[in-house]
Amino acid sequence: MDSEAPTDREILLTGDAAGFAVFYDRHAEWVLAFARRRSPDAESAADVTAEVFAAALAARRRYRSTSSSAHAWLFAIASNKLNSALRSGYAERRATTRLGMRRVEVTDDDIGRIDALAEAAVVVELLDELPEEQRAAVLARVVDERGYDEIAVGAGVSEAVARKRVSRGLAGLRRRWEERA
């Protein structure tokens, strides 16, 4: 990640519309993939994704995490919106009404892309199964592309411990991936 790019936290707390577009671009694919793996079809997943970002946009100034990445916060919103949509079946109507938008038509190509993204969502699930310190270290190293020294400082541990957390986290992901195959 470019060191000049604003963090998720900075984007959410400033409330800048252009910044929120950057936030959306960073997270839209994995939210869509996460929703698709739990939705009955690609169109429902797209509807839930719209609802997730509408909720994130509305709640952005209440973001309170000290983490530079809003992954966990957005994951919680996505889980809640998906559960709500699955229970009630009206995610599309709520999203379009709240945003004053007409329904977006999902093409066959879109459906294929959404289904392909669902495969990648397995990694998000597997990450959630890791112990918190390993998950945070793996996300910092792989997603945020931070150095081990920076990870160590942020976690208040030595660089060797940061390296071990990333190593153990990646090994745990690999093992869980193979168990699912």
Which tens digit of pLDDT belongs to each residue from 11-63? 888 877 778 888 888 999 989 988 888 888 888 888 888 888 888 888 887 88
**Residues 6+ away with beta carbon under 8 Å from 23:** 8, 11, 12, 56, 70
Q: Distance from CA of residue 27 to its chain's centroid? A: 5
- Highest average pLDDT, of 84-93, 124-133, 137-146, 147-156, comes from 147-156
Residues 39 and 101 in one domain: yes
Which tens digit of pLDDT belongs to each residue from 83-129? 887 766 555 555 556 666 555 566 777 777 766 666 556 666 777 78
Q: Which of 121, 140, 166 is the last residue of a domain?
A: 121
Q: Which of 94, 121, 148 is the last residue of a domain?
A: 121
Q: Which of 70, 92, 121 is the last residue of a domain?
A: 121
Task: State the amino acid at position 109 in one-letter form.
Answer: D
What CATH number corresponds to the domain at position 100?
1.10.1740.10
- What tokens does 155 get? 């976690």
Residues 16 and 102 in one domain: yes
Residues 58 and 101 in one domain: yes
pLDDT at 39: 83
**Domain housing 90:** 1-121
Residues 117 and 147 in one domain: no
What CATH number corresponds to the domain at position 133?
1.10.10
- What tokens does 58 get? 């509305």
Number of domains in the chain: 2
Q: Does the pLDDT at position 76 exceed 60?
A: yes
pLDDT at 118: 62
pLDDT at 164: 93
